[in-house]
Structure 1
């Protein structure tokens, strides 16, 4: 019986393939350069290099950046929007705010659908759901004819108040499909049936513009896997921390806009919990960017306030991840004020750092680490050779000579600026949210996370850094640790004091049936179906809501109100028990449980490992001899002190002076920062 699971994570520099044996938990990895023009080529190359027989694979899971990259680059198919007359410019008016209120020269990006392709029809539904102006079907057919001539590939249908009565949107979709049967159509009542028209219109617009791109990619990859012998559904990781099948991708493509970054957050949470830390900070540093996530009391923080470009929110629930332009390929540069900067510009996969010998002459973080001796002369098990002379030349010409520094001083300055940028990102997600980083462990992974993790922890007084056994492919492993998951919600605007348990049960029954039907459509058995309820509430007069968990059977609305008061106190440090509370929305998280493979554990025998050698490494302006270890030679129970370097095929671990390292039974390295 075959028991192989495969997960693939496509990064800006490398595509990581993680192969797990379900019975033993043994993991092996394969890395291959990413192919930005068509990510599927790198995936199939990695599968081939890993000698994977797709006929033996029981699960193939994938975290993709296709939707994210399409939105960032705006390489999008022509898409149209059909709106209620008078509401054509909702997505352009937005909230009339800016990302930086003080920058008068920086404008918010244009909508993904230009005004000429946002057409209107006569119809009107009031706030109670009553139709006060019937839909003009002849006008809809006229609009459909125009859009067909324009050759649009997708259409977003966004009517005012359709969240309480979707009949007009449904009828428009039927007419559009009669005229253009192959066009992707997204209706706001299906995508996001909630009040606040800008957020609803924006989410629907994003879903529409990425649908052709994502569905084409997923279909091609699924067909390619089937040709190779894979016999099950391809599973795609989505922003909420679950996976979805190609059948759901066709309707909710925008859920994949946060796919790539969610995998690392999931893996970070799993590893932190595995090591006994319910509070952990995920620190995923790759070749182009660093993703920071936070787990509190064993659960990832989730947000509905996120976007790829400011001004165009995507209201699907998403694991909260803060991304900054700091990676191994981030470029060092001098700003107009004469200060040293680092990123967000990156050398990327091509040409890469100067030491890759591909023509880049500007210093990167990787070049600085080579100069400091923290990186050796090769990466990826010898597949990539690093030229120390080119690294030195780049650091000298980019930083040392312009700033009047000695070579190693300049290299440390590059790393210090990068570490300060990443530490600030951690502060934004922890201290600014009322979380003390000293109460957390830092899970460092990604190709460069273990290089910088201990230094960032020292900057923030985080006591322990956890480096997983395969940090370079930890995000890919996150794809193996999730269930099929969908989020359903419906508006329920009412005074909590006049709402009965029966009212809420009726509202939940409607969306729970939809949730069960969706999971059944994806092949989930009833015994593997789990439904988790939530109710969003607010003090009357507020417009921001808080989500409170609801039991499988609601017997008392007051219990939910008490839970809201407690949640408000935790989130904002105050509560008003005498203030009236409004119910805003009901939600259901539908989970199709996927059997997980257990990671292997080993007997812990305390010992000091024998170094494979020594190398001169620079820390804080001083050269010292650091012990060099090979990761595969370090067993459970090993203990050693810094300075030390641990080398492995997918990453390099830096253990600075004044730190100690131990290896636990799962072969995680725990670096403890003194003081």
Structure 2
């Protein structure tokens, strides 16, 4: 029998499941509503449904790859467990002091993120290391019994241990963990030297506390999934996608749960890389708009931009510095706006505001007919004719257009004294304009011109808004893939098994102890090889890449420089300086006349990328493929107050064969998403069955 792999992506509104038949080179997919009370239920229901629908035996499943919003939601909604912190004496308040940096200099009543570990649950212990990891004050381990007893008395379930300079010497943290295992074995323990072995007390403390906060609930969630797969007779390993788009086995993910905070969106960026590759484009803007949020990621030379830090649970959604900093490798994505379920209202200035809150999947938009009362982006898209009430999700879900009209009339149109259509158009233009502005600013901050990138719109709502968004940003070419609505799940199937380690060892480049660094990178490489090998990658297929976070002496921020292993082995400072200056020049357009220094060494150990490219290069969903280049019907679509409703042809996405050309206005429907092609846009199907869209 043919072997299959299954990718499952949980979003705030929908759970997407994609099945890849490896031998046939085909994919199949399905979409169902997320179950917020227990997300694992939708995962198991989706897997069971897609196997039954295509008569595939559970024993033929070779791998299940999963991306989840569980970690992010737990941090945003503060639904983790009560967490304590053990830190070096004198550093109890690091989480509240932070960097003493204000994200709004002129707000006298500025609201900062509340620390996850409240002050009463933060304990100090006597010990001290210097910046090189040498012991200045021995660890007073006898103090730990009283600390543990106090934590247990206040119902603390998980503990973060973050000692000063533990990234250089983890001995004290390990001693605390071993002692806690003896006196309080029921407590979950996260060590900063394991979770984030990098310099930066505030960021390292915040990351470790966040990891401890979600660890117990994430562990239980993964155990439910593993048990559920076993009950279905699926005997393969469960793999999970990390925030940097890499994939690991479930036991590794459970060891580092904070690494999954951006799990689903990161897989979307991996999908954009695949789709861009089959169309010969490698500089891309991935635009992922789902039911709850919209995110964007810039991809240069076929690689998503990555960051060594991340921020979550912001007090103000788009205010950098108002959230909890996480020192983890992540794909550099920006949340640029609202999703299909985002709620529209009139703000205090009498203008239409969209988001940030969302109706989610329960109750969902008003048109879902599940007792929702607040108008959303999806309701507006339905009224404007972008969505069809009878063909949503391929006809599996009927939308109530009259309810959407009534909600927008009573909540927006009548109070503003405008028509329902103008109010719906206002929602559409507001959310699209906000997204265009945020994406353009994100590119400018990276020193990039967004107009030179090609857009890959994915997510259930991405293709609906893509052309309007591109027009506002000056992007003249879009690559719209088949199956865009489930692209993140497809990206999971194409993500390589891989893991990244980072270790701070700060030194001027001309004073690096190369023997010590060779030993350090060898240790990280050996750990990575073991993780990747245990996930099923054969030894000859494992590759290793090295890098360093570097800066000029006296600077406060670093850039990453790729390093050759030979340069580490031979201590070739000149070669490393050259690649650092090349990276610095690319980012800032110049170099400085100061000596460079290395802050952190990074090692990425990877297996090969799965050969998914063939499955999305012209053979995808062949069971639905047919030749039907004529419109299957038409409907009235609103393209602005000047033109009003225009009778627009509707095409079946699965019937569009390579070389088919379409002129706007047109609507192209598939089960998971709908593409809106406005006037002045043209589309052509390429050999991989992507729709290549251009402006006239």
- With the shorter chain as reference, the TM-score category is over 0.9
**1:76 shift after superposition:** 1.4
Partner residue in 1 for 2:174: 170
- Looking at structure 1, the residues matched to 352 and 328 of structure 2 have their Cα atoms a distance apart, in angstroms, of 38
How many residue pairs end up in the alignment?
Answer: 670
- C-alpha deviations, 1:230-256, integer Å up to 9, x for none? 112100111011112122123211101
Could you state the TM-score of these two structures normalised by the residue count of structure 2?
Answer: 0.93
Partner of 2:580: 564
Aligned-pair CA distance for 1:42: 0.8
Q: Deviations over 1:392-427 (max 9, x none)?
A: 222222322222223322221111111101112211
Q: Does residue 1:240 correspond to 2:244, yes or no?
A: yes
Residue 390 of structure 1 pairs with residue 403 of structure 2: yes
Deviations 1:603-623 (A, max 9, x none): 9xxx99211112121212212
Indicate how the Cα distance of structure 1 residues 619 and 60 shifts in structure 2: closer, same or farther if over 3 A, else same. same
Which residue in 2 is equivalent to 1:581?
Answer: 596
Question: How far does residue 360 in structure 1 lie from its aligned partner after superposition?
Answer: 2.9
| SS of residue matched to 1:430 | helix
Deviations 1:617-643 (A, max 9, x none): 121221222111011211121111010
Give the one of 626, 632, 640 matched to 1:620.
640
Structure 2 residue aligned with 1:64, among 65, 68, 77? 68
Deviation at 1:57, TM superposition (A): 0.6
Structure-2 residue corresponding to 1:87:
91
Aligned counterpart for 2:277 among listed residues 263, 273, 276? 273
Could you tell me how far apart the structure 2 residues matched to 1:500 and 1:114 are?
Answer: 41
Q: Does residue 525 of the first structure (1) align with residue 538 of the second (2)?
A: yes
Give 1:363's aligned residue: 375
1:31 aligns with 2:31: yes
* Greater shift in the superposed pair: 112-121 or 128-137: 128-137
Write the distance in 1 (CA, Å) between the matches of 2:150 and 2:667: 64
Task: Give CA-to-partner distance per residue, 1:418-477, whole Å, 9 cap, x none.
Answer: 110111221122133221122111111111111100000011110112211011101111
Shift of 1:325: 4.4
1:101 aligns with 2:105: yes
Distance in structure 1 (CA, Å) of the matches to 2:106 and 2:308? 26
Q: Distance in 2 between matches of 1:361 and 1:45?
A: 28
CA contact (8 A) 1:457 1:673 kept: no
Residue 74 of structure 1, CA deviation: 0.6
Q: What stretches of structure 1 of length at least 5 have no aligned partner?
A: none
Q: Which residue of 2 aligns with 1:642?
A: 664
Asked if 2 retains the 8 angstrom alpha-carbon contact of 1:599 and 1:666, the reply is no
- 1:357-413, Cα deviation, whole Å (9 max, x unpaired): 233343222222222222111311112112222222222223222222233222211
Cα distance in 1 for residues equivalent to 2:382 and 2:501: 49
Q: What is the Cα-based RMSD across aligned positions, in Å?
A: 1.8
CA shift, 1:25, in A, is 2.2
Which residue does 1:158 correspond to in 2? 162
Cα distance in 1 for partners of 2:610, 2:271 equals: 16
The match for 2:518 is 505
Q: 2:248–2:532: 8 Å Cα contact kept in structure 1?
A: no
Q: Which residue of 1 aligns with 2:221?
A: 217
Map of 2:346 onto structure 1: 334
Of residues 484, 489, 496, the one that matches 1:476 is 489
SS of corresponding position for 1:599? helix
Distance in 2 (CA, whole Å) between partners of 1:374 and 1:151 is 51
1:632 aligned residue: 654
Q: State the 1:504 CA deviation.
A: 3.8
1:657 paired to 2:679: yes
Q: Say if 2:26 and 2:616, in contact at 8 Å, map to a contact too.
A: yes
Aligned residues of 1:247 and 1:522 also touching (Cα < 8 A) = no
**Separation in 1 of the partners of 2:509 and 2:192?**
27
TM-score when normalising by structure 1: 0.96
Q: Determine if the alignment matches structure 1 residue 127 to structure 2 residue 127.
A: no
Map of 1:148 onto structure 2: 152
User: 2 CA distance for matches of 1:272 and 1:594?
Assistant: 15
CA drift at 1:500: 6.5
Q: Are the counterparts in 2 of residues 293 and 429 from structure 1 also a CA contact under 8 Å?
A: no
Distance across 2 between alignment mates of 1:393 and 1:187: 54
